[in-house]
Structure 1
Amino acid sequence: MRRSILLFPLCLVTAVLAGCGNKGPLYMPPPKPAPAPTAAKVVPAPAATTAAPAQH
């Protein structure tokens, strides 16, 4: 009887530990490719229009 009392918790702990975690080889997701560098959109500066002073 004493042997059964000691054996049951041991089997229970073994079964619980055996069921933990992932099985099989380690899985690493494929690396995401780096985003392609995009050319900065060059916005032309507004043309500097200097109005000549009106001469009367």
Structure 2
Amino acid sequence: MRKSAIVLVLFLMLCGALTACGQKGPLYLPGPDTPKEKQK
């Protein structure tokens, strides 16, 4: 595999992990798309 392909895969995995943590985990990034009221 090329280095660019490996970096792309790692980047997508990282984005997926951040998205999963933001939606399902206790730690999430504050933003307009964050359903704070729905989680309470």
Q: TM-score, normalised by structure 1?
A: 0.37
* Higher relative helix content: 2
**TM value normalised by structure 2:** 0.47
